[in-house]
Structure 1
Amino acid sequence: MSSSIDSPSIIDKTPVAEVEVQPQLTTVLSVNGEVIDLKPSDYDDALQYAAESENLVIDPVYEKKLVRKIDWYIMPMIAILMSCQMMDKTTNSYAAIMGLRTDLHMSAEEYTWVGSSFYLGYLVFEYPAGVVLQKWPLSKVLTAAILIWGIVLMCHAACQGAATFLLCRTLLGIFEGFMNPAYILLTSQWYKKDEQFMRTCFWYGSQGLGTLLGAGIAHGLYTMRTGDHTLASWRLFYIITGVITLVMGVISLFHIPDVPVKAWFLNETDKKYCVERSRQNQQGFGNHRLKTPQLIEAFKDPITYLVFIYALTYAIPNGGLNNFGSILLNDDFNFSTGQSMLMNMPGGGIDVIIPPAVAILNHKVLRDKRLISMILVNLLCVVGSCLLTFTSPKGSRLTGYYLLYTSTTCMAGMASIVSSNVAGHTKKVAVGTFFLIGYCVGNMIGPQTFRESQAPGYAGAKTAMLVSYCVGAIAMAVMYMIYRSRNNFRDKRRIEMGEKYVVPDNIAFADLTDMQNPELRYDL
């Protein structure tokens, strides 16, 4: 695709440069009437480009073509990285039935900790990863994490015992801590709020491609490599997936820019549009200064804890199935080892298709009420859990098993809420950290619900899934009511002030939190 867009008007060739802009705005009256004093260092990075786009009039046709270009250049890269991430995480589920546990003399309890140790590393380093992403160039940090991730993945093949394998899993978890926060920040930089749910569903759902690819590679290695080999199939599996990850890490270094105005594939007019679009988001590109008041607000905001609770309830089933999915298909559903690998592939297809499909329906039918869409999908997971837990026919239990994969839509939606509804760069990093801490803790708990004494049915694990999905639906319903109440309060206040209210200049680039900025409205 060409790096320029045809426009009815002449494309502006004036370079978008970093200029020293003295903010006219020095104080802001917050939503609750508090006077906030602003210093030059408080502003978003996008302010230094604001003067270039200040008088820009957005042409809807041109903007539509720009969004299409961004979709072609940014979304596929994030989607591919997300696919690699999912493929790498689920290697254990396939390796376990390819001889991993036997070759490393792993007990059932040790294998249970294989899944939990990954998320232990993720949990401990989640906040430091967020701080590094805030202070250092985003694409460079992401690339470094991906490259180290690929190297550590290949090191799994050299493990000779459970201890070294658990160490590799912990290290792998540390570097995954950079991935999802980076994707969320990229989405908030490049897209307007009403565009983010669709895009997040796309890149989050693309993890299904990783499931499909991982299952295909594992099945090929298991069925085609007959006889004795110097290198076991499961070891070769880790090497292949590690090499794929390394290659994509190198490509991402040259492909993904740190901020939109440095994008190699945009012309100067495109870049000015990106700045103006970020102004409409009331957010911008980010601020590298850690702000203690924003951290305190994040801890006081009930949304932070609802985001945590939802991530926890999503991740308990997710952590169990990522590590025991193939084992469950093998032992409980009585599929052969090869069949168990292939039976994971429909779940990958569901991941790819359902999240974008729900996002489209949400836009056309529910008029962008994404939390309502997420609650409905989560209730579908409740139905799936009931079928898996309480029915006997193999067909109904398998239907229930696959319905659980639709929960990816809700996790994508929650990531888009952190991206679009949480403002203030420090607060966004903090709430994103809580979100992923819940995700980590749930993924640590999930494998522990699969007790060897309950094999092959694992009734305790299935019950834990059912309870988790019910609690998750409640958390999202409460979040919807809070956001709706806050929007109503702001609208009422605006009406009361009438003509006295004037939109402050460059308030979008003041790096204010969502609780401070009177211009911000929450997307429901």
Structure 2
Amino acid sequence: MDSDEKDVKTSSQNDEDIKTCEVSPLVDTKRMFRKVDIVVLMIMLVTYALQFTDKLALSSAAVFGLRTELKLVGQDYSWTSSVFYFGYMLGNFLVAKLIHVFPIGKFIFFTVCAWGITLACTAACTNYAGLITARFFLGLLESAVSPTFVFMTTMWYTQEQRAFRGSVWFAGNDVGGVFSALVCFGLGHAGGALLPWKYIFITFGCLTFLWSFVILFFLPDTPQRATFLTADEKQFYREEMKASDVEKEWDWDQAKSCVFDLNLWLILLSTAMSILPNSGVISYGYIILDSFGFTSIQSTLINLALSVLTFFCITISGYFASRLPNARCYMVLVCVAISIVGGCLIYKGNSKGVKLLGYFLVDAQPAITPLLLGMAASNFQGNTRRSVVNSSIFVVYCACNIAGPQLFQSTDAPHYPHAFLAWIICYCLNAVFAVAMRFRWIQCNKKLEKLSQIPETDGKEVIEFLDPTFRYKY
């Protein structure tokens, strides 16, 4: 390791200590961020958990009678999963602009409330056309959450804190997975006038609708409007954390510079290789386990255990990414390596137990996405640039979630060998992109070190959108 990289690492280790020790003595920043965690981070985590219960609702409903009652044949089920992300993609084009226009807290409340109603009404679908329409509008409404939460992470937390906090709210996926598995297990045994799959949509839709009012009353639009912060703490955000300000004007120069930035394209390629396999796990998880020879109820309990495992993978990788200087790409490589082993076991395994072990191992790869989101939040400056990055990531997210279920062709049922081979290829390519990102950002930091030695008037245009103290986190 060369001396430049050592200097960057030493600097990053001390950054958070500086922020908590040398700022105004009137502000206890540890206490302040603890309050932000309790209110803002917990709201984001629960909201993200509810969003994931919706995605799992379709998968679990598929094995509790939905496909039979609505007469889904061929690729019909795959398209009901994919069409959600057409709506999600359309919404992402709008969200990048809307979060600069509307108060963020109120914007999230409206979308969560509307998607809860839409989800509950999905139980009224009687055919394929109705289901696919409901899924499209559900995706359109849910598109507001993920890019807005990435934006909020940069608003409320320092550059050093974002990787772990981003992993925490993203781990809401697996909190939702545990909750969904328990609820679906109970509803799977439900009797009554309706089939179990209808109870699943009604239950999760009503819970989401009620939660939206918690968001309305407790999620502040900005740190300056947070009732739980003192006047001195708000002043700290105003003076020490410029990213907490939401710019109302769209800066086309920032947008243009971002589109032509190689760093953005590396993030997008890595995101694509992460989401393609994960979309199959989400949409076909219960069906994959069914192909291994497990019953519907057994699949539900296995998914509960998988959600717990993935939660720990996400939080532990996020913790080490935040605590160890510039370890984010290393953590991506660790998750990819585990997933490659798991993918090979599923692809070549002959027994149910071996395939199940492989399925557990590939569930380490969802931890890659929050690591990438953390790097995106830390490595792009300016509200417009961050909006472009966040929306671009989630457009790729949508495209891959549309394509992912299509890897599971009905002609390959019930074992889907081509889908699992595609997973292994994606994991290997992601390892290549992780190495490329790390190398790229090490070189960029060396250039920034040299630029910092240039007088401000000479270097102003070169680092137009960067804080002079800014360094890439990798």
Fold agreement, TM-score > 0.5: yes
SS in 1 for 2:53: helix
Q: Structure 1 residue aligned with 2:98, among 128, 132, 135?
A: 132
Equivalent of residue 231 in structure 1, options 184, 189, 194: 194
- The answer (yes or no) to whether the contact 1:305–1:434 under 8 Å persists in 2 is no
Residue 371 of structure 2 corresponds to residue 421 of structure 1: no
Aligned with 1:163 (options 129, 153, 162): 129
1:43-192 residue pairs with structure 2 within 5 A? 57-59=23-25, 62-192=28-158
1:295 maps to which residue? Answer: 255
**Rounded Cα–Cα distance in structure 1 between residues aligned with 2:304 and 2:398:** 24
Task: Give the distance between the partners of 1:57 and 1:454, measured in 2 at CA.
Answer: 61
Deviations 1:367-422 (CA, angstroms, capped at 9, x unpaired) = 34212212221222122111211222322321221122222221001111221211
| Equivalent residue in structure 2 for 1:242, among 186, 205, 218 | 205
Amino acid at match of 1:448: Q
Counterpart in 1 of 2:468?
518
After superposition, what is the alpha-carbon deviation per residue over 1:304-326, rounded to whole angstroms, capped at 9, x for unaligned?
22222122211211221111110
Structure 1 residue 515 displacement after superposition: 5.1
Query: Is the contact made by 2:286 and 2:300 (CA closer than 8 Å) also made in structure 1?
Result: yes
Moved more, 70-79 or 387-396: 387-396
Q: Does 1:459 align with 2:408?
A: no
Deviation sequence 1:340-391 (CA, Å, 0-9, x none) = 1111111210222122212333445x43421221222122212211121122
Q: How does 1:184-223 map to 2 (within 5 A)?
A: 184-223=150-189
- Residue 317 of structure 2 corresponds to 358
Structure number with the higher helix fraction is 2
**Higher radius of gyration, 1 or 2:** 1
Preserved CA contact (<8 Å) 1:422 1:514: no
Q: Is the 8 A contact 1:307 1:434 kept in 2?
A: no
CA distance in 2, matches of 1:363, 1:270: 23
Change (3 A) 1:70 1:503: farther
Contact 2:237 2:244 in 1 (8 A): no
Measure, in 1, the Cα distance between the counterparts of 2:281 and 2:236.
43
Whichever residue aligns with residue 521 of structure 1, its letter is R
Aligned equivalent of 2:432: 474
* Shift in CA distance, 292/444, structure 1 to aligned 2, threshold 3 Å: same
Structure 1 residue 514: Cα displacement: 7.7
Q: Is the 8 A contact 1:205 1:408 kept in 2?
A: no
Which residue, out of 381, 392, 395, partners 1:434?
392
* Counterpart pick for 1:486 among 412, 420, 444: 444
| 2: CA distance, partners of 1:443 / 1:296 | 27
> Which stretch has the larger CA shift, 186-195 or 486-495?
486-495
Alignment of 1:403-422 (within 5 A): 403-422=361-380
Shift in Å, 1:61 = 7.9
Show the counterpart of 1:340. Answer: 299
Higher alpha-carbon deviation: 392-401 or 109-118? 392-401
The reply on whether 1:321 has 2:249 as its aligned counterpart is: no
Q: Which amino acid aligns with 1:168?
A: A
Mind listing any 5+ residue stretches in structure 2 that lack a counterpart?
A: 1-21
CA contact (8 A) 1:117 1:166 kept: yes
Task: Give the letter for the 1:77 counterpart.
Answer: I
Q: Aligned partners of 1:520 and 1:360: how far apart in 2?
A: 22
2:6 corresponding residue in structure 1: none
CA RMSD of aligned residues (A): 2.1
Where in structure 1 are there 5+ consecutive unaligned residues? 1-55
Are the aligned partners of 1:294 and 1:513 in contact in 2 as well (CA < 8 Å)? no
* Equivalent residue for 1:374, pick from 332, 335, 343: 332
Among residues 351, 357, 364, which one is paired with 1:399 in the alignment? 357
SS in 2 for 1:117: helix
For residues 97 and 410 of structure 1, what CA distance do their matches in structure 2 show?
28
Q: Distance in 2 between matches of 1:513 and 1:244?
A: 47
Equivalent pair of 1:423/1:514 in contact (CA under 8 Å): no
Match of 1:305 in 2: 265
- 1:263 CA drift (Å): 0.1
Aligned residue in 2 for 1:389: 347
TM-fit CA distance, 1:151: 0.9
Provide the aligned length of Structure 1 versus Structure 2.
452
| Contact 2:254 2:382 (C-alpha < 8 Å) held by counterparts | yes
User: Percentage identity across aligned positions?
Assistant: 26
**Larger CA deviation: 400-409 vs 186-195:** 400-409
Q: 1:49-72 deviations in whole A, cap 9, x for unaligned? A: xxxxxxx94349811121112111
Q: Normalising to structure 2: TM-score of the pair?
A: 0.91
